Structure formats: C-alpha cells, structure tokens
Structure 1
C-alpha cells in the first residue's frame, strides 16, 4: 500500500474534485428541479470527472504492465470488479425490497448488458469499461506502438461521439448510453492520455499555468456550446463529446502542474473510490427518505460530503482493525 507521505497530494486533490464532479452531474442529470438552466450548465461543466478517472487509472501503469494485456486487464478486474458485484447486488436487492423490478432482464443478453452497463447501478459502467479499455489499450500498445494506439483510440472516440452526442443531428434519434459510453469507444483515448502524460510528466513542469487555465476555459466553453447547439435540450441531452477530450485533459494537466502539499488530500483521495461506489445510494436516501430531491445544491453538498465521509471512516476502521490484528 502506498503511504500517505509518498502520495502526490495534487493528484489526490484531483480525485476529490472529480468525485465532486460525478456527484454533481448525477444530481444535475436527475433534473435540477429548482433551476433547470443552471442545472444544465452545472451538468456540462462536471463532465471532466469520468475522463479524469480513466486518465488517472492509466497514469500509474508501468511499462511492464503494457507488455501483458491479459495480465493487466486481470489485475484491473481483480481490483474493481468485486466492488462492482457488491454494489450492483446491493442496488438490485434494495429495489426488490421496495417492491420494484430488478432493473434488468434475466436472459443471457440481459445479463451481458448488466455486466456491460451496470444496469440499475448505472454509475458502475466505469468499472467494466476500465477493464475492457485496459485490455484494448495494452493490446494495441503491444502490437502497434504508442502512435498507432493513440490514432486508433482517437478514431474510436470519434465513432463513439457520433453514436452519442451527435446521433440526433446525424441520424434523427439517439442511442442507449451504453453504446458509446463504454470501454471500447470512450475509455481508450483517456487511458492513452494517461500513459502519455506519465511518460512526459517532466515536461509538464515547463508549461505556464495561465496557458493551461486558458486551455481549460476554452475547452469547457466548447463543451458547453456543444451541449447547447448540438443537442439543444435539457436534461441529459448531452453527455460526452469532442470538446470533452480537451476539457478532461486540461483539468488533469492543471493539477499535475500545481503543487499541493496538505496531507488531507491524500486521506481524502484514497477514499474517493469507496465514495464513488456508494454515492448514488446516498443520493437515493437523501431524495427518497428526506425529501431533498428538489433541493439540488443541498443534495450535491450532502451527497458529496456524506459519501466521502463514510468512505474515509470505512478506511480508518479497516486500518484500525488491521493494526489490532497485527498486534494480537
């Protein structure tokens, strides 16, 4: 396990910000009933978060990982898929206890789609996408090299954007989100970006922060414009598109460029995975049991704080139990 003293506080702060973005987009995507135009902007500007999490996942890969694609994919799967299974089972179980439907069809195709998309726990799509994307990128890196891998990943991302954000203007109708938001069309380009940034991290020290901020603002504005002009409706009319690539990269590079030192970021950063897993359940409780569904800003603040707080407490409790066990 990486000690807090050896962790990069800036990257952990980036994880925390990305978690906040994910909580925000799920609240905004749910309607933002008290101010829909503002909710649209909030939803759009939160879309850097998932790309950053993909990028950060690959940023820490070693070159030795990339020479064995199946081993890398297996290692990633062992790290994330047990959590996927637990949260998915919990989500389905709660739906059944409430008298609802399980949220998937008990057929071979339905089970495959459940594994692909997360089904009723739709936020979990990131995890199987990470596993598949890892296998795709490592395989391409092994047999084609970095340049061709980047080119193919960009082409896949362009195809995914056509299927996703640009489907209505091009085809007159939309497609299910799982057709473009997955480990084939979406994840690879951000995973490759993580590899590239890792290999050239020394050069980032020379990049002027004002230039990075200007790029961030530019791509954020383009992303917002795509959401407004290409789709032109709220809510969830726009997901990820062409400018998302630059937007996510700019946010990541900014945090790689700045130097944060406070160890609190490392404590919080290590808890973001657990908080990501449970945040939809927390939001559901806040909306259903406390009637906060129409108070979106409060939902964001509470959903983020409670999810992260529970995850920090969980990690602290496990560490305490492990310490006592080692002393026994």
Structure 2
C-alpha cells in the first residue's frame, strides 16, 4: 500500500472516489422525486450515504505525519486546496441563478456571508469543503495535544450529538432542525477524519482483514442504514441524511476498497477527475432535468457521465498547461 508521499496512486481508492461520485449524483437525483418511484428513490438515497463519509476518511488517510504534528500547517494546506474552488463555485452558482432566475439577488450581508461559508448555500452540495477544513483543524489539534484515544471519544460524542439534533430530532422531540446544524465540520466530519487517521496508522491490521468479512460488514451496515432511515424519517424520498448506521457503513465501504487490489491507470485518470466532477454535477443535473428528462435513473447516468467527462477534460487541460509552463521555463533557462 503506497504511503502518503508515494507519487503513484492507489487504483482501488480512486475507484472508490468514482463510486462515491456516483453515490452523490444518485442521492441528489433520488431527492428530486425519482420519477414517482418513491420507495426505490428512498433506498437509492440511503444506499448512497457512504459517499461523503468516504470523502472525509480518504482525506485524512493521506495526511502526512508531519502535518498532524503541525495542525496549522495541515489546516492551511487544506484551506488552500478546497476553499479556493469553494468560493469560486459559490460565486459561479450565484451568477448562474441571477442569469436563469430573473429577480434573484444574492444576500451578501455579513450574516449571510457567514452562513454561506458554513453551508455553501446556494451551492449547498459544497458544504463538505468548509466542513473538511473545520474538522481537520479540530481533529489535528486534539490529536496532537490530547492524543488519539481522547480525540476518538470526542469525535464520537460530537457525532452522536449531531445525530440527535439531526436524524433523531423529530423522533425524540417532535421537532426538526435545519440540516446545517448537524451536517458540518464540528458534529459530522470529525469522526470520519479520525477514522481515516486510524486506518492509516493501523493499515497493517487493515491489510489482514478478510475481504468476505469486510464485504459482509458493509452489507450489514447498508441494510441498517436503510432500516434506520425507514424508522426515523417521515418523508420520502429524501432519505434521512446521516445517522448512527452511517458511521459503520462509510467505514466498512472504505476498508473494503482498501483491501481490494484493483489495477488500471484509467482509475487514476477518473479518480483525479472526481473533484471537478463533484463541483459541476449539480449544475449539469439541473440542465438535464430542465431540458432532457425528469428525475429518473436515466438522469443519474447522464449526470454522472457528463460530470466525469468534464472533470477528465479539465484535468487534461490543467496538465497540458503545466507542461507548457515547465517547457517554457526550461527553454528560458537554456537561453540564459
């Protein structure tokens, strides 16, 4: 298994990134109605809920030891890596709405900007990017100064608190709270980031796990995810977002792909493209629903494919630009 500094990519984990993109697209399509097939939409929604936990797990899995020893350095790197595209895409989304929705004017008051930074609204699907930065700062700082046993306990407490305020709020109190209260970098992200760090630290033990056993665990937690959703949510087909079973589900899926030994450079090609594809997929989804067909399984296929193609093209363009810059720099050194 490659280390965090190894230049070669892990094809199995890139395949998991691609599968996670498919999961995200699927749950957003299911949330739109799924062509009236509400029970199927509900199941698709629930079974896709491994995707965001996997994002956090894989991010932390590749954190370097020297970064964990310097939480500020880690937070700064992640902020530069994800908050720049976050701000850019939120701005693009606002402009798109102003063009396509006459009369729309974004609220840019200080309070609204804070809310946007926390939730991604109007690009609500990007909430996980600021959540990554906030969660990383919390987890890395706690891990350095209080140790990983304490940090694991803290993250579990925060996750249970978030689930109580989120999926279980209606069941326990009869009231519902806005999604951004629990789906964020304080209550949701930390536990999955800790899982990623620990899976990396104990990767030798992970490598000894039986693939059939891990597959069985993933199937069990997937079933629990669906059952839990059925009992705690009073609406179809939105799913119940994330709750207790999601922790086991996301972790088991991540471990399963860590145990697989997939091959193929094309997985790396697609894996690199998933971040860009995730940024653009909701815009693509809206265009397809508005101009091609209503929410349905076909929309999943079209949105997933188009978004991934855009991601691949973008990565190729960026790589070509970098090669051109390197070549120009080399030529300049040769003439100096």
Does the alignment reach a TM-score above 0.5?
Answer: yes
Normalised to the residue count of structure 1, the TM-score between the two structures is 0.95
TM-score if structure 2 supplies the norm length? 0.93
SS in 1 for 2:164: helix
Per the alignment, residue 182 of structure 1 pairs with 184
CA deviation after TM superposition for structure 1 residue 261, in Å? 1.1
- Deviation digits for residues 21-56 of structure 1 (CA, Å, limit 9, x no counterpart): 011111111221231110000000000000000000
Shift of 1:181: 0.3
Deviation of the 1:105 alpha carbon: 3.3
Query: Structure 1 residue 309 and structure 2 residue 326: aligned?
Result: no
CA distance in 2, matches of 1:108, 1:278: 26
Q: 2:241 aligns with which of 228, 235, 239?
A: 239
Q: Conserved in 2, the CA contact under 8 Å of 1:4 and 1:263?
A: no
The one of 56, 63, 66 equivalent to 1:64 is 66
The answer to whether the 8 Å contact 1:104/1:114 transfers is no
Query: Shift of residue 204 of structure 1?
Result: 1.6
Measure, in 2, the Cα distance between the counterparts of 1:319 and 1:42. Answer: 35
Structure 1 segments unaligned to the other structure (5+ residues): none
Structure 2, unpaired ranges of 5+: 329-336
**Which residue number corresponds to residue 294 of structure 2?**
293
Partner of 1:326: 326
- Cα distance in 2 for residues equivalent to 1:3 and 1:274: 23
CA contact (8 A) 2:42 2:239 kept: no
1:91-240 → structure 2 map (5 Å cutoff): 91-100=93-102, 102=104, 105-240=107-242
Deviation at 1:149, TM superposition (A): 0.1
1:62-115 superposed Cα distances (whole Å, 9 cap, x missing partner): 121112222211110000011001110010101111234657533222111111
**In the comparison of the two structures, how many residue pairs are matched?**
325
> Take 1:237 and 1:297, find their aligned partners in 2: how far apart are those partners?
17
Cα 1:134–1:102, aligned 2, differ >3 Å: closer, same or farther?
Answer: farther
Instruction: Say if 1:202 and 1:3 are closer, same or farther in 2 by CA, change over 3 A.
Output: closer
On the 8 A contact 2:11/2:263 being kept in 1, the answer is yes
Q: CA deviation at 1:5?
A: 7.2
CA RMSD of aligned residues (A): 1.7
Q: Per the alignment, in what secondary structure is the counterpart of residue 271 of structure 1? A: helix
- Render the CA deviation track for 1:178-198: whole Å, top value 9, x for unaligned: 000000000000000000000
Query: 1:103–1:120: 8 Å Cα contact kept in structure 2?
Result: no
Distance 1:75 1:102 in 2: 35
Determine the C-alpha separation between the residues in 2 that align with 1:47 and 1:110.
Answer: 28
Q: Tell me the distance in 2 between the aligned counterparts of 1:219 and 1:228.
A: 14
